[in-house]
Amino acid sequence: MSKIQSNIGSVNKIATSMGHVGDRVRQASSKPIQKASRTTVRVNQEAAHSADQMKNMVTQFGQSFQNDIAHIRSVAREFERVDQEVGRNFSNLQGLGK
């Protein structure tokens, strides 16, 4: 009998590890950035603007990364479902020859 098997356990393990990385990215992006505020030097203003942009980019990356993890899990579940269905169909076909 043929056995078709997806490995959803491995996918979940990897996705969980990726989730931990995503949590760290989220934590890093939520930390405040200390900015110079006692001077009006243009360089300090540009540095503050760059810091804000970087924080926004890291936040967006973290959100996209979490979405990717959710998609990976969704695809793994779909592969599992299809693998089980194909396995049942093969079993049914093997039963026809008897």
Give the start-to-end residue ranges of the domains of the chain.
8-96
- pLDDT digits (tens), the chain, 98 positions: 456 566 888 899 999 999 999 999 999 888 888 877 777 788 888 888 999 999 999 999 999 999 999 999 999 999 999 988 988 888 887 777 66
3-state secondary structure the chain: CCCCCCCHHHHHHHHHHHHHHHHHHHHHHHCCCCCCCCCCCHHHHHHHHHHHHHHHHHHHHHHHHHHHHHHHHHHHHHHHHHHHHHHHHHHHHHHHCC
Q: Is the pTM of this model over 0.85?
A: no
